[in-house]
Amino acid sequence: MHNAALARLAAEHPRLAGWEYFRFDIAPSDLARALGLFWGLGFRGINLTVPHKVLAVGMVASVDAFARGAGAVNTLQRSDGGWSGFNTDGYGLAQAVREDLGLGLRGARVVVLGAGGAARGAAAECLRSGCAGLWIANRTPERALALVADLAPLAGAIAVHAVDPAAGPFPEGAIIVNATSAGLRAEDPAPARLAGFRRPAAVFDMVYNPPSTRLLDEARALGIPGAHGLGMLAHQGAKALEIWTGVPAAATSGTMRAAAAKALGYRAANGSD
C-alpha cells in the first residue's frame, strides 16, 4: 500500500525516489530495542500496530497532543532527539465513516467496542470531532473505566460512558465502531450482538480482512448500513505518509486503498464490498 503510493509520488517528487516501506514482526518485549535500532539505521518513519500502539507511548522522545490524549501512537517520525509519536487512526476512522457510510462524527452518538490502542485513537477522534456522546463498551469493565478516565481531558462537556457490551445501555441511532480484533478469524464471535442495541445508525468494523465479519453479517441481516475497515486502513496510512513526506493525505489515499484492495483480492475498493 505504502510502496504503491511512493512509486507514484516518485515521479512528481524526485526526493522520494529512494524511499521504500518495509514490514517487520517485532515481539512486544523487543520493541524498545527495535525502535533504537531503526533510528540508528536512519529510518525516517515507523508505523505500529497492536499491541505496540500503547506500549510505544512511553518509549519515544515526544508525543503530539492528540496522541497523548488518546494514550496510543501508531506513527513515528524521525527527529534529531529520537522518535516523535503521532496517531493517525482517528483521522482514518473519520474519513472512512464519511466516505463509506456517508456520516460524520460531529453531533453523532458513538459506541466504541474495545478499549485497546485502536479504540483509544477512535474514541479520541470522536471527541475531537465534537460527537454528541461517547460510549466505551468493553468486556473488562476496568479497562473501559480506565479509558474513560484517560479521555476526560479531551472530553470537556461531552459525556463519556463505560458500558457492558452485552447489556448496555446503548443510545438509539448510534454509530457502532468495532475497535477490537474480533472478526480477524472466521471462528471469532461478534464483539457484541446488535439485537441488543437500540436501532443503530450504522456499523463500522475496523477489521478489513476478511471483508465481512459476524458483526457486519448481523448488521446486513438487520438492514443496518455497515462498512469494513479497508478505508480506515488506507486513510490512516495516507496520513502517516503525509507526516513523513509532507504530501497531503488526500493525494495518496486513493492509490493506497486500491493497492490494498488488490492485494487482499477484493472485487472493488469500497466499503460495501
Phi–psi pair at 83, nearest 5 degrees: -95, 140
Separation CA 251–CA 158 (nearest Å): 33
53 labelled catalytic:
yes
What residues have CB less than 8 Å from 121, skipping those under 6 apart?
53, 70, 72, 74, 87, 88, 89, 90, 93
Residues 72, 91, 196: CA angle, nearest 5 degrees: 80
Catalytic residue (choose from 4, 47, 52, 53): 53
Separation CA 273–CA 261 (nearest Å): 10
Distances (CA, A) of 146 to 66, 163, 245: 18, 12, 35
Residue with cell 490512516: 236
- Just list the catalytic residues: 53
